[in-house]
Amino acid sequence: MMRSTLIALGMTLLARMLYDPMITNDVSEEYDFIVVGGGASGAVVARELSDKTGMTVLLLEAGDSDWGNPLVPSPTMFDMLQESPANWNYDIAKQKYSLLEMGKNAKYPGGKILGGSTSINAMNYLRGSRHDYDSWEDHGAKGWSWKDVEPIFKKNENAVDENISEKAGRGGLLNISISYQHPFSVKLKTAAKEIGVEEVDYFDEIEGISPLVCTKHKGIRQSSSDAFLRTGYKEREEYLHIVTNALVSKVHFVTGAKTKQKATGVSYIKDGKINTVEARREIILSAGTIRTPQLLMLSGIGPKNHLEEMKIEVVEDLPGVGANLQDRLEILVFHAIDDHQYATQSTMESIMEYIINGTGYNSAVRGSGVVLHHKTKYFGTNVSLSTKKRPFPSIQEIFTPKDAPLPFKTRENYRFNTALLLGVQHPKSKGEIRLKSKNPFDQPIIDPNYLSEEDDIKMYIEGFRKLEEFEMSQTMNEIGFRLITPEICNGSLYTKPPRPDEFYRCYEKSYGVGYHACCTAKIGKENDEMAVVDERLRVRYVESLRVADASVMPHETSSNTQAPCYMIGRKASEMIKQDWNI
């Protein structure tokens, strides 16, 4: 009997050719809460505050509805989504220490669509290490330790795959399942055992090699829009209004209690018209690591000198807004492979398997199936402010069998290639976000300052060393697995491992991408002048304004940002309800 992705996908695409019933243009003058941004965190906040609370909520999303976009449901459309209008496709400032061969063409992704980046990402669902959150508490995020956040993760999750650890949540709104295990993934797990790397279930133990868990069900993407906004929407439509193509340009303030400035409403631009709406209780910014600090600064909250330079009236001098930008530069690493069965791409058979069963190569983004986390000999050097040297892993490597095009020239001959992303989990290098102008449509200046710290460079080299162990294993030798070396780094001299550190220094500085920015409005103690929000996510020194997205993270986690953002949205909702006795 066909429990068919063919039927499910066909019905989904047919429905999405029609008008989205969840979107409205009939906006009231005021709401109890206004949520800015419909990504992982914002969608959860909007859902939770409007669900059986009697509270009215307005969700403003700068992008279009996901409902009419046929690229969103299918994992195979990932690359097309990255090149579509659903991606903000931000420019990255020219880097001094990295991306040297990428030049001015380096871009930064962000979901400009309902569902935010959950509608365009690779769907990898990784919570991070328990030690990440204990370290957050070390940094002043009281109440954000692992014992505090693990139950929040579980409330969101619905592990539909029985092979996922019992430590994952069941019964939540977000469906998660194990990614397709390509023959290449199986081979990697065999090689890992050979070199002494343990196979683990990520939910039980992060360090080791683990099958990827993704936000999908029966081969179809589960975005925050699908999971948290569309489910049971008719029950909440009286209380939750969602407006798309609405770019919020400013938060408005009046003088409140004890002369503090109180957020009272926002202006947003839709169809070329400026609209203003008020919030009776609070405004929650969930616009993401890039847009949230931009909106704060446009509204007069940020570094005083920068705001004055932009000729913006200063509401509150908060130097941490836009600072502390962290992201692991993910190095693009390519290996040759000779055996075609381990480099299988989309075929008619795999397409039919996906259509009929929702499984197989086409059910996974680029066929990816496993993730490796490990420490290095430099453990503790990249732990930011923590003096406790929390034992989270230093390196993440996500493998894919996809025969992706190389961004460099090489003299090597090979039949197929695989691709992977190598990232340092807790970089010391920090950048910043600054306004380019007062125009909200102008992209801000994004400078991640990748590889500005020597410790980060050393960490990446250790990541390459672990890959050399795979390369030299008998298991991977059997299929001709070997690093493809770029000409730019004198690669023809270093075709076989072990390779000198200087080769890897050149490689890592030349090619990479960024996907998981965070920390530009971080949680921190009151005596931390760079803290933007307190442990309850309230913007410091003003009233009725919170932030709930990746920008509040004190530091990067040992994971992609999707799962932590869902958790942040759920925890923010609970704190808001507590504070307002809802």
Model pLDDT, residue 1: 35
Does 30 have pLDDT greater than 50?
yes
Does the active-site annotation cover 426?
A: no
CB of 384 within 8 A of CB of 139? yes
Q: How many CA atoms lie within 13 A of 299 on its CB side?
A: 30
pLDDT value of residue 6:
54
Q: Model confidence at 415, in pLDDT bands (50, 70, 90)?
A: confident
pLDDT-derived band of residue 383, with 50, 70 and 90 as boundaries? very low
Per-residue pLDDT, 9: 57
Q: Residue-wise over 76-96: b if at least 16 C-beta within 10 A, else e? A: bbbeebbebebbbebbbbebe
Sequence-separated (6 or more) residues with CB below 8 Å from residue 502: none
Average pLDDT over residues 28-45: 98
pLDDT score, position 412: 84
Tally of CB atoms within 10 A around 259: 6
Nearest to 62 by CA among 38, 46, 78: 38
Q: Can you tell me whether residue 30 is helix, strand or coil?
A: strand
User: How, if at all, do strands 240-243 and 57-60 pair?
Assistant: parallel
Backbone phi, then psi, for 275, in 5-degree steps?
Answer: -120, 150
Q: Is the pLDDT of residue 49 over 90?
A: yes
Q: How far apart are CA 544 and CA 275, in angstroms?
A: 20
pLDDT tops 80 at residue 567: yes
pLDDT at 339: 86
At residue 379, the pLDDT reads 62
Query: How confident is residue 258, by pLDDT bands cut at 50, 70 and 90?
Result: confident
Per-chain mean pLDDT for the chain: 92
Distance, in Å, from the CA atom of 380 to the CA atom of 377, rounded to the nearest integer, reads 9
Identify the bridge partners of residue 210 per DSSP, sorted by sequence position: 371
Q: What is the pLDDT of residue 19?
A: 79
Query: So what's the pLDDT on residue 535?
Result: 98
Among 546, 111, 58, which Cα is nearest to 295's? 546
The whole-number pLDDT of residue 103 equals 66
Q: What is the pLDDT of residue 348?
A: 83
Residue 367: pLDDT band with limits 50, 70, 90: confident
Which residue, 38, 132, 59, 53, is CA-closest to 574? 53
With contact defined as beta carbons under 8 Å apart, do 349 and 555 qualify? Answer: no
Q: What percent of the chain has pLDDT over 70?
A: 95
**Cis omega (within 30 of 0) on the bond before 498?**
yes
pLDDT over 60 at 17, yes or no: no
Provide the Cα torsion 146, 149, 150, 153; round to 10°: -150
386 — pLDDT class (breaks 50, 70, 90): very low
| Mean pLDDT, rounded, for 89-108 | 86
What's the rounded mean pLDDT across residues 295-309? 98
The pLDDT of residue 2: 43
Secondary structure of residue 490 in the 3-state scheme: coil
For residues 9-25, give the mean pLDDT. Answer: 70
CA distances from 266 to 34, 129, 276, 552, 580 (A): 8, 37, 6, 21, 21
Average confidence (pLDDT) over 16-28:
83
- pLDDT at 5 (0 to 100): 52
Of 526, 527, 219, 202, residue with least CA distance to 353 = 219
Give yes or no for a contact between 580 and 281, defined as CB atoms under 8 angstroms apart.
Answer: yes
Give yes or no for a contact between 498 and 468, defined as CB atoms under 8 angstroms apart: yes
Task: Write the pLDDT tens digit of every residue in 353-364.
Answer: 888 888 888 888
Given this model, what pLDDT does residue 341 score?
83
Q: How far apart are alpha carbons 126 and 423 in whole angstroms? A: 14
* pLDDT on residue 403: 76
**What is the rounded average pLDDT of the residues 464-469?**
97
Q: Which residues pair with 290 in a beta bridge?
A: none
pLDDT score for 388? 66
Question: Using one digit for the tens of pLDDT, what is the confidence trace for 522-537?
Answer: 999 989 999 999 999 9
Instruction: Give pLDDT tens digits for 205-225.
Output: 999 999 999 999 999 999 999
Specify whether the CB–CB gap between 195 and 107 falls below 8 A: no
- For residue 111, the SS3 value is strand
- Tell me which of 131, 182, 373, 516 is the catalytic residue: 516
**Helices 130-138 and 146-156, axial angle in degrees (round to 10):** 130
- Length of the chain in terms of residues written: 582
Burial class of residue 381 in the structure, from the number of CB atoms within 10 Å of its CB (0-12 exposed, 13-18 middle, 19+ buried): middle
> Could you tell me which residues come within 8 angstroms of residue 10 by beta carbon, excluding any fewer than 6 positions away?
none
First-last CA distance in the chain:
46
Most distant CA pair in the chain: distance in Å?
A: 72
CA distance 35 to 60: 6
Helix (H, G, I), strand (E, B) or coil at 548: coil
Residue 4 pLDDT more than 70? no
Encoded amino acid at 88, one letter: W
- Residues 125 and 203: their CA atoms lie apart, in Å, by 10
What pLDDT is stored for residue 377 in this prediction? 80
